[in-house]
Amino acid sequence: MTQNEYKEKIDRALEDCFAVDDALPVKGLAEAMRYSLLAGGKRIRPMLVLEFCRIAGGDIDLAVPVACGIEMLHTYSLIHDDLPCMDNDELRRGRPTNHTVYGECTATLAGDALQAEAFASILHADLPASRRVLCAECLADAVGMDGMCGGQYLDMLGDGRILSENELNDIVTRKTGDLLIAACRMGVAAAGGSQKQMEAAAYYGAYIGYAFQLVDDMLDVLSTEEQLGKPIGSDAEEQKNTFMALLGEAECRRRVKTLTDQAKAILQSSFDDTAFLCELADMLAERMN
């Protein structure tokens, strides 16, 4: 499948989630959840789930609930990231942020609910129980204290002081890399793939995750608000620790190329059909938003 075909498949499945019914007591909460979940985006993480499932020999249709689960989890992280107590952003994907539309309390609960529903989606998938459990475990490991949430905490602790490259690497690995690694591993897990495939998938996710953050940091300086769909220059304005500030544009670009090449190379030893994932790695390295 192409990237557009995967995205359409994922979007159709997400559209069926959390239907809004006037008789629903929590209608407002469902609306807030759908507002951010259906706001667009590249759907990179669910795409990785489905493609790794495919090349590991699995049935992508059975893995769709797993793919939806990681997108729900990712959406929760964006809603909470934008909150006044975090980054206090007013624009996300070209639209007002969730708390701007629904208020801070509802936005917080929408994120909380999406996190829970992410695991429900995975655990309700029509897959063998052992595969569902492994997928859920991969996601839990990526987003808890030792993963994304821990990374966000360390990022907040770093505000107001200059971090070393090792400290910044630790934050980026937790905040960005771990969820991409989880997406790749969850695809292999949904297919019942081998341990060797799981390891190769994890390395691929780690390489593109690091490159993804490098590009993000560059775009915050070099892109436009129209291209990004969110404010630019906020990193410098808030004196955030970024790779652009630490390394400069030339070194960031060099590392993105090296990491992208490593991501493509690591797949060769464990998978036969890697064209899609190689093209995806290149696209992420060259993206403008």
What's the pLDDT tens digit per position in 262-288? 999 999 989 999 999 999 999 999 998
* 167, 168, 171, 175 alpha-carbon torsion, rounded to 10°: -170
- Report DSSP state, residue 59: -
Dihedral sign, CA of 286, 14, 177, 92? Answer: positive
Q: Considering only 108-117, 151-160, 181-190, which range has the smallest mean pLDDT?
A: 151-160
In the chain, the DSSP E strands lie at 91-92, 95-96
Domain positions in the chain: 3-286
Condensed to tens digits (0 to 9), the pLDDT of residues 7-65 reads: 999 999 999 999 888 888 999 999 999 999 999 889 999 999 999 999 999 999 999 99
Amino acid 21: pLDDT: 83
The arithmetic mean of pLDDT across residues 120-130, rounded, is 98
Q: What is the pLDDT of residue 231?
A: 60
**195-248: per-residue pLDDT in tens?**
999 999 999 999 999 999 999 999 988 866 665 555 655 555 556 788 998 999
List the CATH code of the domain at 3-286: 1.10.600.10
Q: Does the pLDDT of residue 88 top 60, yes or no? A: yes
Mean pLDDT of all residues in the chain? 92
Residue type, 195: Q
Under 8 Å between Cβ of 285 and 256: yes
Residue 233: predicted pLDDT: 53
Q: 118 with 69: CB under 8 angstroms?
A: yes
pLDDT at 40: 87
Please report which confidence band the pLDDT of residue 87 belongs to, taking 50, 70 and 90 as the band edges. Answer: confident
The pLDDT of 150-171, averaged and rounded, is 89
Predicted local distance difference test score (pLDDT) of residue 228: 59
| Separation CA 263–CA 208 (nearest Å) | 6
Where is 257: in which H helix or E strand? helix 249-267
Residue owning tokens 């690497």: 169
Give the pLDDT confidence score for residue 239 in this predicted structure.
61
**Predicted pLDDT at 230:** 54
Over the range 196-235, which residues count as b (16 or more CB within 10 Å of their CB) and which as e? ebbebbbbbbbbbbbbbbbbbbbbbeebeeeebbbebeeb
pTM of model > 0.95: no
Q: Who's near 12: CB < 8 A, 6+ residues apart?
A: none
